[in-house]
Amino acid sequence: MRIHQVRSFLYRSAIPLAGVALAAVASAAENKVTICHRPPGNPDNVHTLSVGEAAVGAHLRHGDGLGACPTGCGRDPRICDDGDACTVDACDAEAVCHHLPVSGDPVCNFCGDGLAQPLEDCDGQDLKGETCTTVLGPAFAPAGLTCTASCQFDTSQCLPPDPGED
């Protein structure tokens, strides 16, 4: 073959060969399955494996699971415990810890539960027994004290005593 004939032959051959090579790679990738492997006799060594499709049945029979092994709190929800008795600790489906404040407990500060806890001036109707007089002094009548949505006293409605009260 002359050089232009060789080039032409290589060009014609390369395309089908590249196609075969790509098909082999794709086929190899399709035949791999991700499993969570629990080694028999060594259950603490749980780890994610990629195995051939043909081996999946045997793995499932000895207790492995399909898909990657859970990680983080998905594997051990106890790691979400923040040691704070005023939060409810939970692990969600994405293995992310959540710490939700406890509502309605006399010790746990939770603004909006209607109970004035230690770090709050007030909460809703619970003014801890305070009045305009106790908060602002004797120059104000008792009535008018309210609580803001952020659990602080609102004294905007506090007024001096009615002069007729004397």
Conformational region of residue 117, where left means phi above 0, alpha means psi within -120 to 50, and beta covers everything else: beta
Dihedral sign (CA 67, 68, 74, 78): positive
In angstroms, give the least distance from the CB of 147 to Ca ion: 10
Which CB sits closer to Ca ion, 110 or 140?
110
Q: Does 123 interact with Ca ion (rule: CB under 5 A)?
A: yes
The residue nearest Ca ion at its CB is 123
- Please name the residues in contact with 131: beta carbons below 8 A apart, sequence gap of 6 or more: 142, 143, 145
Q: Where are the alpha helices (DSSP H) in the chain?
A: 3-30, 56-61, 72-75, 132-136
Which CB sits closer to Ca ion, 117 or 132?
117
In angstroms, give the least distance from the CB of 43 to Ca ion: 45
Number of shown-chain residues binding Ca ion (CB under 5 A): 5
Q: How far apart are CA 102 and CA 89, in angstroms?
A: 10
Q: Which tokens in the block code for residue 149? A: 């949505």
Q: Does 121 interact with Ca ion (rule: CB under 5 A)?
A: no
Part in contact with Ca ion (CB under 5 A); list of ranges 18-26, 64-72, 88-96, 120-128: 120-128
Part in contact with Ca ion (CB under 5 A); list of ranges 2-10, 26-34, 121-129, 152-160: 121-129
Which CB sits closer to Ca ion, 64 or 113?
113
Q: Rounded to an integer, what is the distance from CA 135 to the centroid of its chain?
A: 41
Instruction: Among 113, 122, 145, 147, indicate the residue that binds Ca ion (CB under 5 A).
Output: 113
In angstroms, give the least distance from the CB of 110 to Ca ion: 5
Please compute Rg for the chain using Cα positions.
35
Which CB sits closer to Ca ion, 50 or 152?
152
118 within 8 A of 128, measured Cβ to Cβ: no
Using CB under 5 A as the criterion, which residues of the chain lie in contact with Ca ion when the complex forms?
110, 113, 115, 117, 123
